[in-house]
Each structure stands twice: as C-alpha cells, then as structure tokens.
Amino acid sequence: MMTFIWLLVVVTAIIWMTVRWSLHPFLALLAGCLMMGVLTGLGVSTMLGAVSGGFGSTLQSIGIVIAAGTIIGEYLDRSGGARVLANKLLAWTGEKNAPISMSMTGYIVSIPVFCDSGFIVLSSLMKAIGRRTGISVAVLAVALASGLYATHVFVPPTPGPLAAAATLGADIGRVLIYGLLVSLPVMVVALLWARYWCSRYTIELSHPEEEEAVAKTAPSFTLAVAPILTPIFLIAMKSVAEYPTAPLGEGYLYSTAIFLGDPIVALFTGVLIAFFMVGSGQKRIQNKWLEEALKKAGIIILITGAGGAFGAVLRETDLGDFAAQFAGAGGLGIVIPFLIAAFLKTAQGSSTVAIITAAAICAPLLEPLGLDSITGTALVVLAIGAGSLTVSHVNDSYFWVVAKFSEMDTATALKTHTTTTLLMGITGLIVIQILAWVLL
C-alpha cells in the first residue's frame, strides 16, 4: 500500500512538473524514475540499472518504427497527400454527408500523422466545405477532430500505441487488429454525437477563405493512401501467419509474411513508398522533410525511452502485490489501465504522454491483473488508449488546435469537442471490456 501511495505522489509530481513548470516530459519522467527509486528504498545500483536498462530495451524495439512512421506522416502532410485523401472521400460520400467524409478522412490520415497536424492541414478544407454545404462548422470540426483522435490513440503505427505496445511487450499486429475493431465504434459514436449535439452550435467564420488548391505535384489518391495501408496490411498478415491454426503454413509464404510484417520492415516499406509522393519539382526539399520528421521523431523517442525507464523502476518495487487485489474483481481488471490513463490525460493534457506514462505504470501490473497473455497485453494497450481520450480540455494542445482552426470560442469548444472526447473514451472502454470478456 505504501508503494502505491508513493506512486501517486510521484505521478502527481510528474504532472506538476509538466503542467506548472512546463518541464519537458522526458526530464519529468526521468525525475520520476529517481524519485520512485528513492522513496521506495531501491538500492542505487538496482535503480540506475533499471533506468538505463528500461530506456535501452524500450528503444531497441520501437525507436526505428517511430522514426519511420513519423517520416511517412511528414511526407503525407507536406506533399498534399492528406488533402487528396479528403477530397476523394468527399467525392465518394457527397456534400450532404460531409461529416462522414471529414470523419473518415481524419480516421485514415491520423494513422501516420499526429492528430493536431492533421487537423491543421485539413481545417481550411473543412471550412470551405462548411460554406459550400451550409453544414455547421462545429459539426464538421468535431467530426474531423474525433476521426483523427480515434486512430491516434488506438491504431499503430501512431507513436502512442506503438510505444505502449513496446513498453508492455504487446504484439503490435494484435494491437493493430483490435485497435481497428475498437476505433470504428468510437468514431461512429463521436460522429453521431457531432450530428445530434454539435449541430445546435453555429460558428460565424471571420472572413471568406477559399479552399487551398492541391499542388500540381500532389500525389494521386492511390499513392497517398499506399504508405498508410501497406504497413497495416503487412503487420496484420504477420499476425495472421502466427495464428495457432497456421493459415499460411510453415514454408516460404509463412517466412515471407513474418519478415515483411515485422514492424521495422513494414514501416520502412511505407517510407520507401512515401518517397514517391515527392514531385519532380520538390526533390530539392526532400532532405528538409526528412530532417523535420526526424526532429519530431527524436522527441517522441526520448519520451518513450523515459517511459520505459519509469516502468523498469516500478517493476523493481512490490507494486504488483497491491494490484493483485483487483485480479478477481469480476473480470474488470481492464478498467485499471483505463483509469490510470484517464487520470494522467485529464491532469496534464497530452494523450501521448498519458499513454507512455500509463503503460510504464501498468507494465508490472499485467500479471497480478491476469492480463499478461498475448491478448491481454494488447487489450491493456487499447484500454490505455481509451483513457488517453478522456478528456481533452483546456490543458490539451489539441483542444486549442481544434478551437483555433475552427474559430470556436472556448465555451463552444468545451461543449462540443470536450464532451465528444468523454463519450469516445467511455465507448472505447465498453468495447474493450466486451472484448476482454469474450477473448480472455
């Protein structure tokens, strides 16, 4: 019990440092490692060994994957590919179903692209559609924001789920497949809420703004979607090949699926495809795109490594004994990771930081909670993702991106975007709990 109390103290301190002092999460997590070690009486060699070992082992499995995923996202953003996807989906659904188009666009784009970047890129298109169709921008903004958010927290190769999977030792293929199963109803509930609730809010745009034309060198729809779907397909095929019934046999086809479906190989394949999105007139700026992507990846990698170090320190304590009390609570052990992530998210704002920190806290709890199986660890990753949705409000940078780029005032953003994220998180938890009852 004392170890749990010290954990609450340390987590509160991490949140205080990141929110009040604006300390970078990387440094805050490292400070949390040292605080936890000292407060729980770990030996110096044990504590420092856990910090360095946890940092290194986490990045060993996830560093390259995060870098590759970030490169794909940067190319999709800079080349105009995200806008191509949006225009194509709008053509398919029709202007009357523009909220569905916005939601689907966000759902696809956010798999490799951070949700805030995706919203910024697509916001001018969203407002242009609002003017053309007469649909409230509040509805379109929430539909787009929720579509982006759904895959941002549930579906690899988005960095948050990838980092959580690495920290918990979860199979990325299963996280991807289950993540798609969970994220779809979450997106649908958000879309229905947007159409029902957000339609009562009218946003007066400050000035007419023409839709930005896609650059002449923008990729085709097929080329824009290929770097996203190809890695997902390859990773999913690896999970299929490893299924106990061996549907692909054990020969050449099996070996090929295992090789190509490795997250490093799959994401690197996506990067190679993304290179073709660079138009002939843009070759000179390709290195600039790569540098920007790797800068963004570096920050994520450092935070992920620090989260892994925090988890390694927690594993050296007796925290698992306390968590064992929840193992037989009617199969509700999956709620614990959700609550941890929801607390972190609501308190400090960042979904990615909440996911990484919650994964580190939950790592030593898997066995006591009875969730240390292949399926159990995948569902814990998703429960953490659902918690990291709950809720987005004024301390979240994404909240302000949605409010600013859709020209909502703060009160309207709280009544629309924030309420939507609460429903998304609860829906996600319900779906994951049902999966846990069925699969575990």
Indicate the domain borders of the chain.
Answer: 34-204+297-439
Tokens of 3: 């170890």
Highest mean pLDDT among 237-251, 267-281, 375-389: 375-389
Cα–Cα distance between 245 and 229 in angstroms, integer?
25
The Cα–Cα gap between 265 and 374 comes to 22
- Asked whether the beta carbons of 304 and 166 are under 8 A apart, the reply is yes
Write the Ramachandran bin of 437: left for phi over 0, alpha for psi from -120 to 50, otherwise beta.
alpha
Average pLDDT rounded to a whole number, residues 341-369: 83
Percent with pLDDT over 90 in the chain? 22
The residue ranking higher by pLDDT, 209 or 152, is: 152
> What distance lies between CA 274 and its chain's CA centroid?
21
Coil, helix or strand for 257? helix
Nearest residue to 56 (alpha-carbon basis) of 365, 373, 262, 311: 311
Does the pLDDT of residue 7 top 90, yes or no?
Answer: no
Residue 321: pLDDT band (50, 70, 90) is low
Whether 319 contacts 7, CB under 8 Å: yes
pLDDT of residue 225: 84
* Residue 165 to residue 206: CA distance in whole angstroms: 43
Give the pair of three-digit tokens for residue 241: 């090949």
Which tens digits make up the pLDDT trace of 192-217?
Answer: 999 989 888 887 765 544 444 444 56
Specify the 3-state DSSP secondary structure of 224.
helix
Q: Is the pLDDT of residue 328 over 60?
A: no
The answer to which of 144-153, 250-259, 378-387 has the lowest mean pLDDT is: 250-259
pLDDT for residue 173 is more than 70:
yes
CA 343 to chain centre: 17
53 or 74: which carries more pLDDT confidence?
53
Q: For position 214, what pLDDT does the model report?
A: 41
Q: How confident is the model at residue 374 (pLDDT cuts 50, 70, 90)?
A: very high
**Residue carrying structure tokens 């898997």:** 366
Amino acid at 345: K
Q: What is the pLDDT of residue 210?
A: 41
pLDDT (0 to 100) of residue 428 = 96
- Residue 426's pLDDT band (cuts 50, 70, 90): very high
* CA dist list (Å): 250 to 128, 213, 235, 369, 378: 53, 50, 17, 34, 25
CA 10, 11, 12, 13 torsion-angle sign = positive
pLDDT tier for residue 5 given thresholds of 50, 70 and 90: confident
What is the C-alpha separation between 270 and 231, in angstroms, rounded?
6
Residue 146: pLDDT band with limits 50, 70, 90? very high
Q: Token pair for residue 208?
A: 């007419």
Mean pLDDT, residues 356-380 taken together: 88
pLDDT of 149:
94
* CA distance linking residue 268 with residue 262, whole number of Å: 10
- Comparing 25-34, 180-189, 273-282, the range with the smallest average pLDDT is 273-282
Neighbours of 52 (CB within 10 A): 12
Closest listed residue to residue 120, CA positions, set 73, 162, 159, 166: 73
> Can you tell me the distance from the alpha carbon of 365 to that of 341, in angstroms, rounded to the nearest whole number?
14
The pLDDT, as a whole number, for residue 432 is 96
Q: What amino acid is encoded at 416 in this protein?
A: T
Q: How far apart are CA 42 and CA 312, in angstroms?
A: 12
The pLDDT assigned to 228 comes to 79
Residue 387 has pLDDT above 90, yes or no: yes
CA separation, residue 287 to residues 75, 215, 293, 394 (Å)? 11, 19, 10, 36
Query: Which residue do the tokens 């927290």 mark?
Result: 153
- Grade residue 395 by pLDDT with cuts at 50, 70 and 90: low
Residues 214 and 224: their CA atoms lie apart, in Å, by: 13
Mean pLDDT of 380-403: 86
Tokens (6 digits) for 22: 């604006």
Please give the pLDDT value at position 324: 55
Average pLDDT over residues 168-192: 93
State which H helix or E strand residue 310 sits in.
helix 286-315
* Mean pLDDT for the chain overall: 82
Distance separating alpha carbons of residues 365 and 92, to the nearest angstrom: 46
| Residue 188 to residue 111: CA distance in whole angstroms | 17
Instruction: Give the closest residue to 79 by CA, choosing from 300, 292, 266.
Output: 292
pLDDT at 330 over 90: no
Cβ-contact 385, 179 below 8 angstroms: yes
Q: Tally the residues of the chain.
A: 440
Most confident residue range from 54-68, 89-103, 255-269:
255-269
Range name among 104-113, 126-135, 293-302, 325-334 with the lowest pLDDT average:
325-334
Q: Residue 246: is it exposed, middle or buried by C-beta count within 10 angstroms (0-12/13-18/19+)?
A: exposed
- The pLDDT score that the predictor gives to residue 344 is 81
pLDDT at 188: 95
For residues 193 and 434, is the Cβ–Cβ distance under 8 A?
Answer: no
Least confident interval from 132-136, 276-280, 397-401 = 276-280
